[in-house]
């Protein structure tokens, strides 16, 4: 089956949204990326189960796009199926005093506001991270020494293996949450997460959230499209500092520029292509390698064919 036939077969029962050849740039914070072969936004868990079964039986390539705030999508796009857990996956539900169930498509910032209103502490320092819950758990989003993994108690995933799809509840104690990574694999789709927060009545949550937002505004180039930090911090140092020391702030390829405000950010100054960003990444790595003897590693996920290996 090709992708058009898959879309036709799905169209018979799929309640969500299906779009062939859908440009992805507007679904990313970089505002960069070519089309998805098929973009599918399931309306709820039944839709998601059916489409993952279709993906498993057809063997079609797929990936899950959250809020697209940590990805660089190729100018050629992604020829397979791109799953977006949008409107059908935004619910938040409290259980007991301090447990919260949240669906993967909910914005992290919306969840933070919701928890602060209920005097539940634990997420407020993550304010301003523009991800979805699914993407934030997958990447173990972290800020100010606090990571979302610290609050996770269980992750619900659909796992595709061969032609089978299984529904799994993964207890956090069996998982590893590391620096910008977890052991969630590419064949696992997070659809819901259970968190445990602190209900001991800390009353400065909103003040802390505001302080973090002020810090972000001062230190990050939020006025221009970006994907946040491009590189992981090497052990014992910061990627931004290394890039700055190499004099690379302001370096430009096409519409992609190393931010003057934060050297680990590349901003899209208008019309940047994925290729521009990719070449800029390559040249930063080369410069840092030759001047500092350190190999930088991308934090962002590169999706699709970038046309030539990043060194
Ligand atoms: C201005 C700015 C500031 C940022 N600041 C921070 C920061 O302080 N700390 C930090 O950690 N990050 C930061 N980021 C990066 C980014 O926001 C986080 O990594 C975020 O958690 C990614 O979530 P997302 O939904 O956008 O994921 P995406 O970028 O859409 O996807 C990231 C990865 O997660 C996978 N994924 C997404 N959803 C699911 C799902 N439901 N199931 C399985 N896999 C999934 C994708 O396939 C991809 O591999 C920043 C980004 C920007 C643009």
Task: Give tens-digit pLDDT for 6-43.
Answer: 999 998 889 999 999 999 999 999 999 999 999 999 99
Residue 202 above 90 pLDDT? no
Residue 207 falls within a domain, yes or no? no
As a whole number of angstroms, the distance between CA 261 and CA 157 comes to 38
Instruction: Tell me, using a 6 A CB cutoff, whether residue 249 lines ligand 1.
Output: no
Quick one: 59 and 111 in the same domain?
A: no
Residues above pLDDT 90, as percent of the chain = 95
* Residue at a domain's end among 87, 106, 134: 87
| Inside any domain, residue 203 | no
252 in the same domain as 183: no
CB of 139 shorter than 6 A to ligand 1 = yes
Of all residues in the chain, the percent with pLDDT exceeding 70 is 99
Average pLDDT over residues 97-112: 98
Residue 78 shares a structural domain with residue 97: no
Domain match, 44 and 96 both: no
Residues 112, 81 within the same domain: no
Answer yes or no: is 209 within a domain: no
User: How high does pLDDT run on average in the chain?
Assistant: 96
Residue 138: CB within 6 Å of ligand 1?
yes
Is-contact 84 39, C-beta < 8 A? yes
Average pLDDT over residues 114-138: 97
Which residue range forms the structural domain that includes residue 181?
A: 90-196
Q: In terms of domains, do 111 and 82 share one?
A: no
Pull the structure tokens for residue 255. 């519409």
pLDDT band at 111 (very low <50, low <70, confident <90, very high): very high
Residue 212 reports pLDDT greater than 90: yes
Whether residue 206 is contained in a domain is answered as no
CA angle in degrees (0–180, nearest 5) for 116-122-127: 65
- From the list 132, 113, 135, 137, the residue with the least C-alpha distance to 124 is 113
pLDDT of res. 18: 96
- Is 307's pLDDT higher than 90? no
Closest CA to 174 of 142, 195, 152, 197: 152
At 3, is the secondary structure helix, strand, or coil?
A: helix
For residue 40, what are its two tokens? Answer: 């599918």
Alpha carbon nearest to ligand 1 atom 11, residue: 141
Can you say how many angstroms the Cα of residue 86 is from the centroid of all Cα atoms in its chain? 13
Tell me the C-alpha distance between 261 and 90, whole Å. Answer: 33
Give yes or no for residue 210 having a pLDDT over 90.
Answer: yes
How far apart CA 51 and CA 83 sit, in angstroms, is 9
pLDDT bucket at 311, cuts 50 / 70 / 90: very low
Same domain, 102 and 142: yes
For residue 310, name the pLDDT band (cuts at 50, 70, 90): very low
Cα(first)–Cα(last) distance of the chain, in Å? 36
**Structure tokens of 303?**
């999706």
At 308 the pLDDT is: 62
Interval between CA 180 and ligand 1 midpoint (Å): 9
Domain boundary among 53, 87, 121: 87
Contacts of residue 270, Cβ cutoff 8 Å, sequence gap at least 6: 255
Q: Are residues 231 and 162 in the same domain?
A: no
Q: What is the CATH number of the domain that holds 174?
A: 3.30.465.10
Q: How many domains is the chain partitioned into structurally?
A: 3
**Alpha-carbon gap, residue 253 to 230, rounded angstroms:** 15
Q: Tell which atom from ligand 1 comes closest to the C-alpha of 190.
A: 42
**CB contact burial 245-282 (16+ within 10 A = b; e otherwise):** ebebeebebbbbbbbeebbbbbbbeeebbbbbbbbbbb
pLDDT digits (tens, 9 = 90+) for 253-302: 999 999 999 999 999 999 999 999 999 999 999 999 999 999 999 999 99
Pocket test for ligand 1, best of 66, 84, 89, 181 (most atoms within 8 A of CB): 66
Q: Is residue 227 part of a domain?
A: yes
130: CA distance to ligand 1 center in Å? Answer: 7
94 assigned to some structural domain: yes
Q: Name the nearest CA neighbour of 47 among 85, 79, 80.
A: 85
Domain for residue 122, yes or no?
Answer: yes
Q: Are residues 94 and 184 in the same domain?
A: yes
Backbone angles phi, psi at 113, to 5 degrees: -60, -40
Asked whether residue 202 is assigned to any structural domain, the reply reads: no
What lies within 8 Å, CB to CB, of 44 at 6+ separation is 15, 16, 88, 89
Co-location of 226 and 261 in the same domain: yes
Mean pLDDT value across residues 126-138 = 98
150 Cα: distance to centroid of ligand 1 (angstroms): 17
Kindly state the average pLDDT of the residues 76-101: 97
State how far the alpha carbon of 260 is from the alpha carbons of 71, 249, 263, 265, in Å. Answer: 21, 5, 6, 9
Task: Point out the domain boundary residue: 64, 87, 110.
Answer: 87
Q: Which structure tokens are listed for 66?
A: 């959250």
């Amino acid at each position: 089956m090709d992708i058009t036939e898959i879309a036709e077969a799905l169209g018979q029962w799929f309640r969500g949204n299906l779009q062939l050849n859908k440009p992805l740039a507007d679904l990313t914070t970089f505002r960069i990326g070519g089309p998805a072969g098929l973009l599918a936004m399931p309306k709820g868990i039944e839709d998601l189960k059916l489409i993952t079964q279709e993906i498993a039986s057809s063997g079609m390539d797929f990936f899950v796009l959250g809020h697209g705030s940590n990805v660089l999508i190729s100018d050629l796009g992604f020829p397979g199926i791109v799953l977006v857990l949008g409107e059908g996956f935004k619910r938040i539900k409290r259980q007991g005093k301090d447990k919260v169930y949240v669906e993967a498509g909910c914005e992290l910032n919306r969840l933070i506001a919701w928890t602060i209103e209920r005097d539940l502490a634990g997420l407020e320092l993550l304010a301003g991270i523009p991800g979805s819950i699914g993407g934030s758990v997958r990447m173990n989003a972290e800020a100010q020494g606090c990571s979302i993994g610290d609050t996770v108690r269980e992750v619900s995933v659909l796992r595709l293996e061969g032609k089978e799809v299984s529904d799994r509840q993964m207890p956090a104690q069996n998982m590893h949450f590391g620096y910008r990574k977890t052991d969630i694999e590419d064949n696992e789709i997070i659809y819901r997460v259970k968190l445990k927060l602190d209900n001991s009545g800390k009353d400065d949550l909103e003040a802390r959230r505001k302080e973090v937002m002020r810090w972000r505004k001062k230190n990050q180039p939020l006025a221009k499209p970006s994907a946040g930090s491009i590189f992981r911090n090497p052990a014992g140092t910061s990627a931004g500092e290394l890039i700055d020391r190499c004099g690379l702030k302001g370096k430009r390829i096409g519409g992609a520029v190393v931010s003057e405000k934060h050297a680990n950010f590349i901003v899209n100054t208008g019309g940047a292509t994925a290729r521009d960003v990719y070449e800029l990444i390559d040249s930063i790595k080369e410069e840092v390698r030759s001047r500092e003897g350190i190999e930088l590693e991308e934090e962002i996920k590169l999706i699709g064919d970038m046309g030539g290996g990043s060194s």
